[in-house]
Every structure is written in C-alpha cells, then in structure tokens.
Amino acid sequence: MSEVRITEIIVYPIKSTAGMRVDEWPVEPQGLAMDRRWMVVDEDGGFLSGREFPVLTQIRSRVEHNGLRVTAPGMDEMHIPVPTASSGSTTVRVWNDQCQASSAGAKVDDWFTRLLASRCRLVYMTDVGQRPVDFDFGRPGDRVSFADGYPLLLISEGSLADLNSRLEEPVSMGRFRPNLVVSGCGPYEEDSWRTLRIGKTLFEGVKKCPRCVFTTIDPDNGEKHPRLEPLRTLSGYRRGPDGGVFFGQNFIPRSQGVVRAGDVLSNIEEDHP
C-alpha cells in the first residue's frame, strides 16, 4: 500500500442534508465538530430522513460562529442560531435510540415545514446530549451525534472507482455521505483497517457501513434512480453473511485533534485472515 492521504473532509451539519466540504476541521469524541448535530423530526420526535423526504438533500448549510446559514431551492436563506439552555429540552428518536435535544424555534420549524410540506421541527443536540454507540461495536462511554450509528464514515477513492467500473452510469462519492475520503489504497482496503492515526488523532475502525435506499438518491437533484442504482450493483458483490450490503468503514475517534485535507494516514493496523 502506497501513502494514503485525505482528499476530502465533509461535514453534514443537519442530518440527511447536503455536506459541507472543508479544508480542515476539529475532531470531537462524537465525530467531526458540528456533524449531524441538527436533525429534522416529526411532531412526535421521530427523525425524518432523505429516504422519505429527498428534498432534504437539497438543503445546504454553512457553519457560522454562532449557528448555521441554510439555503434550499425556492426558499429564503435563513440563519439558525445554536439553541441555548433556555430553549428547553425535548425527547427525540433516531432509529431505536431516544435522546434529548433542544428546539431551534418556531420560525425555523416553519421554514422546514414549508419546504417538506409536512409538519416538522428542527432540533439540536447540545454538548451534554448523550447518545451511545452500539455496545456490540463500541466501548462504554462512546457516543455519537444524530448520525445513523457511528461518529465517522471513511471511504477510499479506490472503492468508488471499482464500483463505477461496474455501473453503466458512474455515481459521485456524495451518494455515500462519507466524512473522510482517502486516496492511495486499493478498493475496499479500508474494510480491514482497525486503527489509524491522522495528525495527532487516533481512530478505531469498528464496523463496515451497511447501505440502504438512500444511496439511490442523486444528491445533485434529489431524484431516486429508477433502477435503484448503485444499490442494486453493490448488492451483487458487496453483500455480507448477514445479508447487509456494505460500502465504507465506520470509525470512532480515540483522541481529539484536527484533520486536514492532504494529511497522511499513519500507523494503519489491519485485520489479517
């Protein structure tokens, strides 16, 4: 394996919305700072995703010092301040997890309700929010934001190139919503990485990432592929023993620091058959 480097760092401030590419970014225990700290929920607190509401993928956000600046087609730009302690707390659900979050406010809720044409709210996970990682793959005290299950997702350019060689129409890395994209390794080599260091930050690889119908939605226009690609092709050669279809590797930070585009991955330890 040649020198492996970070080529892209992507933060997704609001779950299921467009990513924000950055040149460098802090790493916290629950992943990249501000990654999936906001989430759209229904009136009962259940999360809404791009699987059911593809228009969410068309929301673009920019992190500012005191909140977010968001835009979407046909909508006015809006500033979303970080909720304060006085905003109160509400219980929300992400898959089978329940956790506490703060409301972003009625004005923000109205903006998202108009965009989705469905009553909804925007909530924020504060620094005291605690949502544990699956105990089967993490350690006691490991936590995650509103991401599906783990703090970070890493995918190599080699893996995407291999997939695209099998598709009639190539897809972008945006279909898979990684936090870190790397070059310099072969297809799917990241599957076997158990520990690695980027700068001063140590990461542990804990689980290959199962993929779902969300990968069939084009992030550029929010439209679902009529033949459910690339999930259909992935299902033909990336299906695991449990029936899941995998692409990319989930990681948990084991220290804090900053990652930068161009950083070399070092101290890579791999599983061996």
Q: Are 154 and 173 in contact (CB under 8 A)?
A: no
Name the more confident of 227 and 271.
Answer: 227
95 and 114 belong to one structural domain: yes
165 and 205 belong to one structural domain: yes
Work out the percent of the chain whose per-residue pLDDT is above 70. Answer: 98
191 and 116 belong to one structural domain: no
**Band of pLDDT at residue 110, cut at 50, 70 and 90:** very high
Q: Which of 124, 156, 172 is the last residue of a domain?
A: 124
156 and 263 belong to one structural domain: yes
Express each pLDDT in 241-269 by its tens digit.
Answer: 999 999 999 999 999 999 999 999 999 89
Whole-angstrom distance, CA of residue 45 vs CA of residue 41: 5
pLDDT at position 132 is 94
Q: What CATH number is given to the structural domain containing 204?
A: 2.40.33.20
pLDDT at position 169 is 96
pLDDT at position 89 is 87
Rounded mean pLDDT, 199-228: 96
190 and 156 belong to one structural domain: yes
pLDDT at position 86 is 67
**What's this model's pTM, rounded to 2 decimal places?**
0.95
Q: Is the pLDDT of residue 127 over 90?
A: no
176 and 210 belong to one structural domain: yes
Kindly list the strands in the beta sheet with 31-32, ordered across the sheet, starting from the edge strand earlier in the chain.
31-32, 24-28, 257-260
pLDDT at position 129 is 75
And the tokens for 81? 């301040």
**Band of pLDDT at residue 272, cut at 50, 70 and 90:** low
Whole-angstrom distance, CA of residue 141 vs CA of residue 29: 10
209 and 89 belong to one structural domain: no
Query: Cβ contacts of residue 106 below 8 Å, gap of 6+?
Result: none
**Band of pLDDT at residue 271, cut at 50, 70 and 90:** confident
pLDDT at position 148 is 94
Whole-angstrom distance, CA of residue 36 vs CA of residue 200: 23
Express each pLDDT in 30-70 by its tens digit.
Answer: 999 999 999 999 999 999 999 999 999 999 999 998 899 99
- Range(s) of the domain holding residue 120: 38-124
Express each pLDDT in 149-195 by its tens digit.
Answer: 999 999 999 999 999 999 999 999 999 999 999 999 999 999 999 99
255 and 163 belong to one structural domain: yes
* Domain count for the chain: 2
β-partners of residue 117 are none
Whole-angstrom distance, CA of residue 201 vs CA of residue 111: 38
pLDDT at position 56 is 98
pLDDT at position 85 is 64
The label of the residue with tokens 């993928």 reads 57
Instruction: Give the chain's mean pLDDT.
Output: 95
The label of the residue with tokens 């923000």 reads 108
